[in-house]
Amino acid sequence: MTPPNRQLEKKFLQSIVKPLNDLQHRLIEPFVYSSTYSSIETDTGGIASAIAHFPEQIPSRHIAKETRIKLCDASFEYDLIVNYNDTVKHRALTKESRITNMSVYSRFEYCETRGFRFMRTVPYLMPNGNLPNKYDFVQVAIESIQMLANKFEFSADFVQAFPDSSEGFFEWATLYHTKASREVSVEAFNIEFVRKVNDDEYTLVDPPTVKFVVI
């Protein structure tokens, strides 16, 4: 396969990698997001569309259309992105098993002695609306981007997950409703709590008592 030109790589970075990094900056801010339809879904929908359709933009002189499709067939994450993109565009899909919705959660670390620490907002992809089977959109997007970068010989150096928020522990689990969050109205929101198992591992937990406030 002849490597695509640098203009395509630049478009790859500008249309996919940069928007994902911008989204990650938002996700580590302690903003509250609506559980019904969040501004986060606008961003994830745009990123999903760019990822899903990028292989179509590779000129045929570099790689045949059939090969472009086959290159992505083996990726579960890419398929999930494509299904989410099609769900956002069409809502009703012929194959119900492909319907993939999103639910946005605010994640807090819980510690019995220190309280609550905001970690990040997690946009979960839910295949066929099945909540038990949920996947972090950012992780799925990163896997898809790395797959595309490898297949089309682009640089993947700029594709990485951001660390969690630097927020400290507080007695109250606190979120903020500001203009920066781009949420017009928040009537309900989703929260999940985790407990630290070791340096890089957390497990879901149900705190006995939750003190929560939105400012």
Residue type at 146?
Q
Position of tokens 């150096």?
Answer: 157
Which tens digit of pLDDT belongs to each residue from 152-174?
Answer: 788 767 778 899 999 999 999 99
What was the pLDDT predicted at 72? 59
Residue type at 197?
V
SS3 191: strand
Which tens digit of pLDDT belongs to each residue from 124-139?
Answer: 999 986 666 899 999 9
What was the pLDDT predicted at 60? 57
- Map out the domains of the chain as residue ranges: 6-214
Distances (CA, A) of 71 to 2, 90, 150: 14, 25, 10
Which tens digit of pLDDT belongs to each residue from 72-126?
Answer: 566 889 989 999 999 998 877 777 888 899 999 999 999 999 999 999 999 999 9
Which tens digit of pLDDT belongs to each residue from 20-45?
Answer: 999 999 999 999 999 888 899 999 99
For residue 162, what are the contacts with CB-CB under 8 A and spacing of at least 6?
21, 24, 25, 27, 28
Q: What is the dihedral of CA 13, 16, 22, 23, to 10 degrees?
A: -160
The 10 Å Cβ neighbour count of residue 166 is: 8
Residue 190 pLDDT greater than 90, yes or no:
yes
How do strand 115-127 and strand 135-136 relate by DSSP bridges?
antiparallel
For residue 151, what are the contacts with CB-CB under 8 A and spacing of at least 6?
71, 72
